[in-house]
Amino acid sequence: MLRLDKVNKYYRVGTHSLHALRDVDIEIADGEFVAIMGASGSGKSTLLNILGILDDYDSGEYRLGDTLIRNLSERKAANYRNRFIGFVFQSFNLLPFKTALENIALPLYYQGVTRRKRNQIAAQYLERVGLRDWADHTPSEMSGGQKQRVAIARALISKPRLILADEPTGALDSETSRQIMDLLSEINAAGITILVVTHDSEVAARTRRMIRLKDGLVVSPHDAGASHPQLARQPQTAAES
Amino acid sequence: MFSLDRWMEVFDTIRRNKLRTALTAISVAWGIFLLVVLLGLGNGLNNGLRYTFRREATNGIWITANKTSLAHSGYDVGRRLVFDNRDYDRARDVQGIDHISSQYFIRGGQFGGGEMLTRRGTKAGLFQINAVRPETIYLVQNEIIAGRFLNESDLADKRKSVVVGRPVVDYLFAPSEPPIGQWIIVAGVPFEIVGVFTDPMGDEQARQLYIPLSTAQIAFHGVDHINSLSFTVGDANAQQAKAITDQVIAGLAERHKFSPDDKQAVRVHNNVEAYERFSKIFLIISIFVVFIGCITLLAGVVGISNIMMIAVKERTKEIGVRKALGATPASIILMITQEAVFLTSIAGLLGLAGGVALLAAIESAAVTEMIRNPAIHIGSGVAAAVFLILAGALAGFFPARAAARVNPIHTLRDE
């Protein structure tokens, strides 16, 4: 369903060139549940950008389904993002002035679905994540776990093939984290491919496969674990919006 | 490109960000308000100036005989000067003069003939008598409301014709009586009313009578004397008007043997100079007002840009979210620009209305004679509003475009 072939990405910082991704080969099949781990600066962010069609790469090939993702216009990239990919973030990134229902409905706004229709659909997804009674609440009235459920519902509403979850439990306590991972597992069980970027080995353990990045290279799991024993202890930011 | 859904989105954002909305709106409304008031007051000053000069032709010049103050050609100082009809004939040939009239001061007074008894039947009153030529109509702003002003036949035939001010008519006649063709006694001499006039300065200024110069010279022992010449100079500027005046005075000085440099020998009342001097002052004031208006507008634009910049900055995360969810850069720019334009339009209109309301209040309160009809041309008001709205659009557009380019992951990650 998703395939990276010798993908390279450079960042030019002044006169220097930073080789952010080196010949990255990743293949993920339909319905997989994969964790991407790595320290800060390992290229996770870059990889996430490329997978999420938010940034271009310099060489190699990225195929999403049958579509080659390269040098897309902003418009086309936005369109693909909207249709193929659902994002889940550490700090939820819900729009604070919109209700839970409106937040969930937002991707459909960009598909041109009418207000009434998209609110109808959003209500279904809200129910699916167990927040039927919270439709008219704004994010500030909800707990972290609830917000993340809303964010997941929002990621699901456009029926994406792929969900990119960036530290989805980073701002949550362990019990809520467990629930959110349960929800993601459930979604994965329904056939949606999920990619979780995380520091947390417990979260990674809930997935079925782990990809480790180190200095822009994909390394084998035991390799990376040995050279980066501090990974699991990496402090996590608890910044909240 | 109308999209109800996008408008809903815009209204939603505006409604739920009240402080930001209020700040932007106030900044725009205030800018327009000040501009409108300033431009309006500037116009008011200009109108006030025109009003002040409305009684006399702004291109009129009056030269009145007086006493010499310099010894000249063997004459001592203090000689009282009197001109005559030949001076008029000579002055008429001076190049640049449009219309020229002359006046005889019946009792030799400095200004006009003074007030003399005018009588009709048992009613009598004191009114100022002006013995003039028909051309005087070009020098005063009197409006003939019935009959006519004096004409060349009156002058040539030395007719006993009189043109009277409306207050005089009101005084001497009953409201139902038509005054034209009626006879009244002016300083003991009967005259026939041929016209009635009003004065824009009000009734007090119309308590006057005009009789033909030639008739007055005979009836009141004037021989061929005149005391003042008055003429208009077309659209000559102050410098040209001065040259024309000097030429006329030189002619008078030559005939009556006084020094052309004698400032006391003739009194000159030069409206061209006065008007131009005032015009200059008011032009400077106008420029100043427009300058301040532009600065205000600029400040408004800077204010809007600032607020928009901050607003967009504040919304970077929102924009990031929208982008991640599939918003195209165009849709983001459009959303923010539309919001900016909508806000500035409404606020601009409010400011415009507020400014116009204040101007109307100033006008109705009639604070001072200096300011009359302080109004703005609808064009300049609309232009200013359009300018601000455009500025608002640009102020929204550039930060929006920058924000739309931002990579969402950078704004949305918490690392």
For residues B42 and B65, membership in a common domain is answered with: no
The reply to whether A11 touches chain B by the CB within 8 Å rule is no
Q: Which residues contact A181 (CB under 8 A, 6 or more apart)?
A: A168, A169, A203, A206
- Contact yes or no for B414 and A45 at CB 8 A: no
Distance CA A112, CA B402 (A): 24
Q: Please check the confidence at residue B108 and state whether its pLDDT lies above 80.
A: no
For residues B200 and B343, membership in a common domain is answered with: no
Distance CA B64, CA B264 (A): 10
For residues B93 and B216, membership in a common domain is answered with: yes
Specify the DSSP class assigned to residue B373. Answer: S
Residues B283, B285, B288, B294, Cα dihedral to 10°: -80
The tens digit of pLDDT for each residue in B193-235 reads 999 999 887 788 888 999 999 999 998 888 899 999 999 998 8
The tens digit of pLDDT for each residue in B2-36 reads 677 778 878 877 887 788 788 778 877 888 888 88
CA quadruple A224, A227, A232, A234: dihedral sign = negative
Chain A CB contacts of B3 under 8 Å are: none
pTM of structure: 0.64
The tens digit of pLDDT for each residue in B152-195 reads 999 999 999 999 999 999 999 988 889 999 999 998 899 999 99
For residues B189 and B213, membership in a common domain is answered with: yes
Nearest Cα residue in chain B from A53? B324
Minimal Cβ distance to B413: which of A98, A109, A166 = A166
- Contact yes or no for B321 and A48 at CB 8 A: no
pLDDT at position A225 is 41
- Contact yes or no for B12 and A98 at CB 8 A: yes
The last residue of a domain, from among B253, B271, B289: B271
CA distance B397 to chain A (A): 17
For residues B90 and B233, membership in a common domain is answered with: yes
How many separate domains does chain B show? 2
Mean pLDDT of B139-148: 89
Exposure class string for A152-182: b at 16+ Cβ within 10 A, else e = bbbbbbbebbbbbbbbbbbbbeeebbbbbbe
For residues B205 and B169, membership in a common domain is answered with: yes
The last residue of a domain, from among B271, B299, B327: B271
For residues B175 and B259, membership in a common domain is answered with: yes
Q: Please state, as a whole number, how many other Cβ atoms lie within 10 Å of the Cβ of residue B366.
A: 9
pLDDT at position A13 is 78
For residues B93 and B241, membership in a common domain is answered with: yes
Query: How much helix, strand and coil, in percent to the nearest 5, is found in chain A?
Result: 40, 25, 35
Q: Which domain holds residue B82?
A: 60-271
First to last CA, chain B: 39
Tokens of B226: 């005149």
The last residue of a domain, from among B271, B287, B307: B271
CB A24 within 8 A of CB A212: no
For residues B16 and B157, membership in a common domain is answered with: no
Chain A CB contacts of B408 under 8 Å are: 54
For residues B101 and B180, membership in a common domain is answered with: yes
CA distance A140 to chain B (A): 14
Tokens of A35: 């964790």
On average, the pLDDT of chain B sits at 85
Q: Kindly tell me the burial class for residue A205, based on how many C-beta atoms sit within 10 Å of its own C-beta (0-12, 13-18, 19 or more).
A: exposed
For residues B42 and B92, membership in a common domain is answered with: no
Minimal Cβ distance to B5: which of A94, A115, A171 = A115
The reply to whether A111 touches chain B by the CB within 8 Å rule is yes
Give the C-alpha distances (Å, rounded to integers) separating B195 from B76, B192, B209, B219: 45, 9, 10, 20
For residues B180 and B233, membership in a common domain is answered with: yes
In 3D, which of B116, B119, B117 has the Cα closest to residue B108?
B116
Q: What 3-state DSSP class applies to B298?
A: helix
Distance CA B366, CA B372 (A): 8
CB B231 within 8 A of CB B61: yes
- Contact yes or no for B326 and A91 at CB 8 A: no
